Structure 1
Amino acid sequence: MQSVEKGTATAQQPDANTENDLQHGSARPQDTPVPVGISSALDGDTEMVENENPSAEAPSPAPLNASALPAHLEILADRAREYVEAASAPNTRRAYDSDWKHFGSWCRRQGLDQLPPDPQIVGLYITACASGAATRNRKSAAVSSIERRLSALSWHYRQLGERLDRGNRHIATVLDGIRNTHGRPPVQKEAVLPEDLIAMLETLDRGSLRGLRDRAMLLMGFAGGLRRSEVVGLDVAADQTEDSSGWIQILERGVVLTLRGKSGWREVEIGRGSSDSTCPVAALETWLKLGSIAHGPLFRRVTGEGKSVGPDRLRDQEVARLVKRAALAAGVRGDLSESERASKFAGHSLRAGLASSAEVDERYVQKHLGHASAEMTRRYQRRRDRFRVNLSKAAGL
């Protein structure tokens, strides 16, 4: 990734256009999400965009001249590279790098130059993406994927000291036409409702460490309204690992999660449930005790045929796989075929499930999920408010 040339001290946030939360998504807000379609490009766990201004682009400072740096500043240059890496989530960087390579490959096949940025070439590129001419299998890209690719190009050009004007008519007009022609409603993952979650818990082995871990992950993810990266990023306490995105504090009445988002820190309170069998805090305490976990990553790999807990943190994709596997085993949405059901569930099903089922004032759900606007929270509430206000009857029909 060409984030920083030798000696470059440019650290720039990527252009958010996404957790999606589409369903990812992580955009962005209290907890800026990844751009539209980031999740789908990685693991099929898509979510709607949590960003109110997808076209906003922050100005980029001019990079330093590497040849002008004295030798003793090389250490600072290396640290600058590390900060650039930390400016965006790993999933975002992977998706942006993939899109940049895709654009470069297309330019080479067409005999065009990738540098400097040319709005006419970019306009042709997104046209090729929409028509299927940009890939060998002739598959058309979704509008959300094209918007994400534009964000990736803008970000990469900024890292190279260049600027791509997305408002240029060669890009903006073509993109408007693509939206009007190929735009579709966002595809959202199915919300896991409380009755679904209880059925999913029953499919897990209560006598195994893996089953105890998975119970705690499902209950914590649901009750906390957490993204999959937030679930696996937790540590037992603060400042224990370098790759942590937060930690827990167990209190008498519940557990407090301190989570690091892209725009700062936030706290999430998870209270104790009315029954030990479905209490997220009780499930967490059982996992900590029987898994002998006192330091480091909270949710780890279970090794040795399920008899011991390893030191390694789970990857966030494991949350999506767990939700999908448990939902299928529990027969959730049994009215659909197995292939249809398999595509309905992913990590964000837990987050959407809490938003859809918590019968409390909307502002509390908004704060819990870390949304900057009530409108974003309403997008997560899949079916909660449908037909609650019946204007047909209200009008006398």
Structure 2
Amino acid sequence: MRSQEDDRNALIASSDDGRSGSLATPEDLEAVRAYLARALEDNTRRAYADDLRAWIRFCDARHYDRYPLTPVSVVRYVEHLAATGKAYKTIERRVTGLRGALKAAGHPVDEAVAAAARTALSVARKDIMREPGRRGRGKATAFTIAELRAMSAACPATLAGARDRALVLLGFAIAARRSELAALHLGDVRQVPEGLEVHVRWSKTGTERFPKVPYGQHLATCPVRAWSAWTTRLADRGRTEGAAFPRIDRHGNLGDQLSAEGVGDIVTALAAAADLGHRTAHGLRAGMATEARRAKHDAVAIAEQGGWTRNSREMLGYMQIIDSWEDNPLHGIGL
């Protein structure tokens, strides 16, 4: 299936080689590039820039040409990343990010280089798997319901505390990414007799979804009541539209929309306040999937709530965490 990036680069290439758009001026072409580049999300652009900087540092230290990539240079790059202790996922992301950044800039990597990169990554993965111990931090630890209660209890009785409780509980309930919570507006959440109807307008994958959030069984972890308490306090401040989760300074003054990084900082700080150690916001997304599966909910319903595709490797990985214990073939065999 063609991606937005494939379509964008095809259009740029067709303008470059004169087969179409031959009357376009250089200014027109640059305007087209800039417009199509907006298909890349902010997080993707930042990641691409970081991957390019890492590649440039590597090349400059060895007096390699930065571009074009060659099979030799890209293999040596993978070797370098592996030798410096990077986790396999980091190595893979650096290489694919570099390729994506060049492609987005109108300089796709040729197949010989791509094939060399794939082979080098395979070798690096095998070497790392043979090592004792584990590189990197691994997957984000999923938040459990008990941990959500602890985080809710750690929220102070302040405006910021009301915001943070609503952010964490709603984020868990809809399996939100940091960026999705940051982009949420007050008008995207509608309270109905059954609970909340949420419109996730913006997503990393470019798709929208409409998760439903029923009332919780416990006051401390009910996303609906937490949202109602938070928006009531916002309304008392005259804020009835705009960002669902704005910044709040130390004096309690409301600011503009939180960034995705700001959302992550809130979750990490709240987890630390609840004595849960260092945790990340992705644990909310992982937590909904694992806790819903633990409660025997269907994978399709979980996928729809969190915006996963039904065969998502990420979601199926969360399912496996629970299923490997609940449906373990060693149960009941007399061990």
Q: Give me the whole-angstrom Cα distance separating, in 1, the residues matched to 2:207 and 2:233.
A: 33
Q: Structure 1 residues 275 and 131 mapped into 2: Cα distance closer, same or farther (>3 Å)?
A: closer
1:322 paired with 2:266, answer yes
- 2:221 match: secondary structure: coil
1:348-363 correspondence to structure 2 within 5 Å: 348-358=282-292, 359=295, 360-363=297-300
Residues 154 and 164, structure 1, Cα contact 8 Å, conserved in 2: no
Shift of 1:110: 1.9
Q: Structure 1 residues 118 and 13 mapped into 2: Cα distance closer, same or farther (>3 Å)?
A: farther
Aligned to 1:6: none
- 2:140 match: secondary structure: coil
Q: What runs of 5+ residues in structure 2 fail to find an aligned partner?
A: none
Q: Structure 1 residues 178 and 166 mapped into 2: Cα distance closer, same or farther (>3 Å)?
A: farther
Aligned to 1:347: 281
Shift of 1:198: 1.0
Q: Deviations over 1:139-161 (max 9, x none)?
A: x3222122112212222332233
Aligned to 2:148: 197
Q: Which amino acid aligns with 1:387?
A: W
Q: Which amino acid aligns with 1:125?
A: Y
Q: Over aligned residues, Cα RMSD in angstroms?
A: 2.9
Q: Give me the whole-angstrom Cα distance separating, in 2, the residues matched to 1:303 and 1:102.
A: 35
Q: Give me the whole-angstrom Cα distance separating, in 1, the residues matched to 2:7 and 2:95.
A: 15
- 1:201 match: secondary structure: helix
Q: Give me the whole-angstrom Cα distance separating, in 2, the residues matched to 1:213 and 1:322.
A: 10
Shift of 1:59: 9.1
Shift of 1:381: 4.3
Q: Give me the whole-angstrom Cα distance separating, in 2, the residues matched to 1:152 and 1:383.
A: 29
- 1:391 match: secondary structure: coil
- 1:346 match: secondary structure: coil
Q: Structure 1 residues 148 and 252 mapped into 2: Cα distance closer, same or farther (>3 Å)?
A: same
Q: Which amino acid aligns with 1:122?
A: V
- 1:249 match: secondary structure: strand
1:119-134 correspondence to structure 2 within 5 Å: 119-132=71-84
- 2:15 match: secondary structure: coil
Q: Give me the whole-angstrom Cα distance separating, in 1, the residues matched to 2:29 and 2:71.
A: 35
Q: Which amino acid aligns with 1:379?
A: G
Shift of 1:92: 1.7
State TM-score, norm by structure 1.
Answer: 0.71
1:273 paired with 2:216, answer yes
1:210-289 correspondence to structure 2 within 5 Å: 210-237=160-187, 247-259=188-200, 260-261=202-203, 262-289=205-232
Q: Structure 1 residues 154 and 63 mapped into 2: Cα distance closer, same or farther (>3 Å)?
A: farther
State TM-score, norm by structure 2.
Answer: 0.83
1:106 paired with 2:106, answer no
Aligned to 1:301: 247
- 1:250 match: secondary structure: strand
Residues 157 and 164, structure 1, Cα contact 8 Å, conserved in 2: no
Q: Give me the whole-angstrom Cα distance separating, in 2, the residues matched to 1:83 and 1:258.
A: 26
Q: Structure 1 residues 13 and 117 mapped into 2: Cα distance closer, same or farther (>3 Å)?
A: farther
1:366 pairs with one of 293, 303, 326: 303
Aligned to 1:81: 34
Q: Give me the whole-angstrom Cα distance separating, in 2, the residues matched to 1:390 and 1:248.
A: 40
Q: Deviations over 1:120-178 (max 9, x none)?
A: 2111121122112xxxxxxx322212211221222233223342327755333322111
- 2:111 match: secondary structure: coil
1:163 paired with 2:109, answer yes
Q: Which amino acid aligns with 2:140?
A: K
Aligned to 1:149: 94
- 2:86 match: secondary structure: coil
Q: Give me the whole-angstrom Cα distance separating, in 1, the residues matched to 2:198 and 2:306.
A: 12
Q: Which amino acid aligns with 1:147?
A: E
Q: Deviations over 1:185-212 (max 9, x none)?
A: 8712222111111121111112x11111
Residues 63 and 161, structure 1, Cα contact 8 Å, conserved in 2: no
Sequence identity (%):
27
Q: Structure 1 residues 87 and 389 mapped into 2: Cα distance closer, same or farther (>3 Å)?
A: same
Aligned to 1:384: 322
Q: What runs of 5+ residues in structure 1 fail to find an aligned partner?
A: 1-11, 15-56, 133-139, 238-246, 333-340
- 1:291 match: secondary structure: helix
Q: Give me the whole-angstrom Cα distance separating, in 1, the residues matched to 2:118 and 2:218.
A: 54
- 1:64 match: secondary structure: helix
Residues 117 and 157, structure 1, Cα contact 8 Å, conserved in 2: no
Q: Structure 1 residues 79 and 290 mapped into 2: Cα distance closer, same or farther (>3 Å)?
A: farther
Residues 154 and 270, structure 2, Cα contact 8 Å, conserved in 1: yes
